Amino acid sequence: MTEHEKKNKQRRGAKGQGKKKTAIADSLMEGGLNSQKAAAKYAKVNVRTIRRWVQAGMPTGKLDGKTIYIAEMLDFYKLNEGKETSKDRKREQKAQADYKTTKAQLLELELKIKQGELIERDSIEKERILRILTVKRALLGLGRTLAPQLATIKNPRKIQSRIDKEVRTIIEKFAKS
């Protein structure tokens, strides 16, 4: 291939690329608008709305460093009021509903606590520990209490009856406290 043929081939390739660029630009311009004002006019919304949609993630095109607003995207965002797709919206609405329900339940519990209908776990646990300690002390003191009384009794049934009576007394004290 001669030098002259190579130059001609390069020129033809450059012309073809220029046509390709022009075709892409033309297709973008057919479905696109070259200013926020034109996009707002097309979508019949305010220019601020277009800016908000772009910040929310609306796809746009670039041509020679200039932003092109795509008509299909403007239609989509107008239809969806600038929000995410319906699947995302449903998920967000469910999360918000769950949050509101949980917050309402928490406030309801706090109200019941303030009204004295519910008792905090810590206070119940402290009370339970005090009752257990009372029973423990009473049972540990049984030997001291019963030993002198049982020393004089020779009948095993009477001994058992006396022990049962003392245990019942301890249980009754536990139940009352």
Residues 22-61 pLDDT 10s: 444 454 455 568 888 999 999 899 999 989 888 888 888 8
Task: Find the domain containing 44 and state its range.
Answer: 32-83
Residue 65 region by backbone torsions, left for phi larger than 0, else alpha for psi between -120 and 50, else beta: left
Does 89 share its domain with 79? no
Give the model's pLDDT for residue 102.
92
Q: What is the pLDDT of residue 20?
A: 44
Q: Are residues 104 and 128 in the same domain?
A: no
73 in the same domain as 60: yes
- Domain termination site, one of 118, 138, 166: 118
Residues 172 and 135 placed together within one structural domain of the fold: yes
172 in the same domain as 127: yes
Check whether residue 126 and residue 147 sit in a common domain: yes
For the chain, the DSSP string reads --HHHHHHHHHHHHHHHHHHHHHHHHHHHHSEESSHHHHHHHHTS-HHHHHHHHHTT---EEETTEEEEEHHHHHHHHHTTT---HHHHHHHHHHHHHHHHHHHHHHHHHHHHHTTSS--HHHHHHHHHHHHHHHHHHHHHHHHHHHHHHHT---HHHHHHHHHHHHHHHHHHHHH-
Is residue 136 located within the same domain as residue 165?
yes
**Within this chain, do residues 112 and 125 fall inside the same structural domain, yes or no?**
no
Overall number of domains in the chain: 4
Is-above-0.85 flag for pTM?
no
Whether residues 125 and 157 fall in one domain? yes
Same domain, 112 and 88: yes
For 61-119, how does the pLDDT look when each residue is reduced to its tens digit (9 = 90+)?
A: 888 888 889 888 888 888 877 565 667 767 777 888 888 999 999 999 889 888 888 88
